[in-house]
């Protein structure tokens, strides 16, 4: 029996979610894919190959059907910055609201501040803060470098200069994660905060 074909674009809550890649900067212990779970709300997100910009645009179809288009999936969209830029610019030019869900490590990854560039085609960013300090963050997110949590905070500081709609998120239910403390961090930066639930994806 053939496995289900991976969704490049899928619909949830009136939004279109775009699955650009399965690769990520982190190896979060709570991520479904590291527990061999590749389905989100009935959609298979395990890509056999990363889609081209043209394939993504075709998979989205008429973007006017959606409240917003969200770059998310089970990977880090900014790892494919060129494809993200191509698709999001086209959508943005059509008046579509575009949101990026990210781990906030793009500046570290590219060795430069990419937030001003993102602001040209991204209307809102949701950043996975995930913890109130580096110790708890490193325990759950398993970053490739020890200074990742600081890099995440640097990205927040950079992005808020260019993008007015920023939300930090953290998962309630992870050991040691202090949700009120995470909300205070968001308040400190003057951005929004959203509490997520453990094992609830999508």
Q: What mean pLDDT comes out for the span 120-134?
A: 98
Q: Is the dihedral of CA 158, 183, 25, 73 positive or negative?
A: negative
Give mean pLDDT, residues 174-186: 97
Q: According to the model, what pLDDT value does residue 200 have?
A: 66
pLDDT tens-digit readout, 57-90: 999 999 999 999 999 978 999 999 999 999 999 9
By CB atoms closer than 10 A (0-12, 13-18, 19+), residue 200 is: exposed
Is a pLDDT exceeding 70 seen at residue 136?
yes
Average pLDDT over residues 47-60: 96
pTM, 2 dp: 0.93
Domains annotated for the chain, with CATH where assigned, are: 9-197 (3.20.20.70)
Tokens of 154: 């640097």
- pLDDT at position 108: 96
Res. 128 pLDDT band, cuts 50 70 90: very high
Residue ranges of the alpha helices (H) in the chain?
Answer: 53-60, 81-93, 106-110, 115-118, 134-141, 148-159, 179-189
Nearest Cα to Cα of residue 86 among 76, 74, 98, 75: 98
Q: Is residue 1 predicted with pLDDT exceeding 50?
A: no
pLDDT of residue 201: 59
Mean pLDDT of 139-160: 96
User: Which of 2-11, 123-132, 141-150 bottoms out in mean pLDDT, i.e. has the lowest?
Assistant: 2-11
**Assigned token pair, 174:** 């992870």
**Mean pLDDT score, 167-196:** 97
To the nearest whole number, what is the mean pLDDT of the chain?
Answer: 93
């Amino acid at each position: 029996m053939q496995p289900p074909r991976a969704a490049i674009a899928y619909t949830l809550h009136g939004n279109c979610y775009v699955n650009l890649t399965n690769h990520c900067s982190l190896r979060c212990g709570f991520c479904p894919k590291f527990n061999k779970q590749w389905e989100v709300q009935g959609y298979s997100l395990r890509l056999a190959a990363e889609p081209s910009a043209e394939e993504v645009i075709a998979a989205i179809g008429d973007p006017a059907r959606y409240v917003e288009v969200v770059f998310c999936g089970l990977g880090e969209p900014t790892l494919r910055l060129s494809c993200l830029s191509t698709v999001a610019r086209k959508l943005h030019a059509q008046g579509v609201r575009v949101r990026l869900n990210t781990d906030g490590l793009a500046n570290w990854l590219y060795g430069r501040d990419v937030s001003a560039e993102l602001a040209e085609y991204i209307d809102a960013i949701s950043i996975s803060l995930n913890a109130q300090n580096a110790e708890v963050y490193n325990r759950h997110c398993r970053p490739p470098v020890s200074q990742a949590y600081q890099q995440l905070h640097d990205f927040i500081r950079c992005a808020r200069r260019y993008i007015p709609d920023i939300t930090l998120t953290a998962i309630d239910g992870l050991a040691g994660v202090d949700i009120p403390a995470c909300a205070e961090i968001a308040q400190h930066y003057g951005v929004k905060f959203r509490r997520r639930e453990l094992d609830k994806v999508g």
